[in-house]
Amino acid sequence: MGIRENFKRGSLEMLILHLLSEKEMYGYQLTQEISKRSKGTFQITEGSMYPTLYRLIEKKMISDRLQLVGRRRRRVYYRLEEKGKEYLENLKSEYEITNAGIYSILNYVPDPSEKDED
């Protein structure tokens, strides 16, 4: 698995919860919205989307409901629950802290007045 794939897998829960904080969506709709908003950077497959959705349901972060679409087709819509809202806020906070730390390391400029302690 490539570096980008690892980053995406680690971010998928947060992205799903964020989209569901806006409105209920079904699985394919979530994959399309993630692709659209990321300008194609994130191409989420069903193989990674549905296990994540099922895990979030088990943790009671989201719930699902079946809806008949047309005469025979059914869609499963996912909805963010209160526990998921709290978890999303924690994920965003941790993401911001982690991202800021990584940015600081990658863009570190040593202070000439500091002595090297090697």
Mean pLDDT of the 39-62 span: 92
- Residue 114 covered by a domain: no
CATH of the domain at 53: 1.10.10.10
Q: Is 5 exposed, middle or buried (0-12, 13-18, 19+ CB in 10 A)?
A: exposed
Distance CA(117)–CA(23), nearest Å, equals 53
pLDDT confidence of residue 112: 84
- Is the pLDDT at 77 greater than 90? The verdict is yes
- The whole-number average pLDDT for the span 36-50 is 90
φ/ψ of residue 107, rounded to 5: -110, 20
Domain carrying residue 45: 3-106
Q: Is residue 118 part of a domain?
A: no
Residue 112 lies in a domain: no
How many distinct structural domains can be found in the chain?
Answer: 1
Domain assignment of residue 115, yes or no: no
pLDDT tops 60 at residue 1 = no
What average pLDDT does the chain have? 89
Residue 57 lies in a domain: yes
Per-residue pLDDT averaged across 60-87, rounded?
Answer: 95
Q: Is the pTM of this model over 0.85?
A: no
Choice between 30 and 115, residue whose per-residue pLDDT is larger: 30
User: Helices (H) and strands (E) in the chain — how many of each?
Assistant: 4, 3
Domain contains 88: yes
Q: What is the pLDDT of residues 104-118, one digit of tens each?
A: 999 998 888 877 665
30, 92, 32, 35: which is closest to 62 by C-alpha? 30
The answer to whether position 113 is within a domain reads no
| The dihedral sign for the CA sequence 18, 24, 8, 35 | negative
Burial grade of 97 (CB within 10 A; 0-12, 13-18, 19 or more): exposed
Q: Is the pLDDT of residue 10 over 90?
A: no
In a domain, residue 111? The reply is: no
CA 43 to chain centre: 12
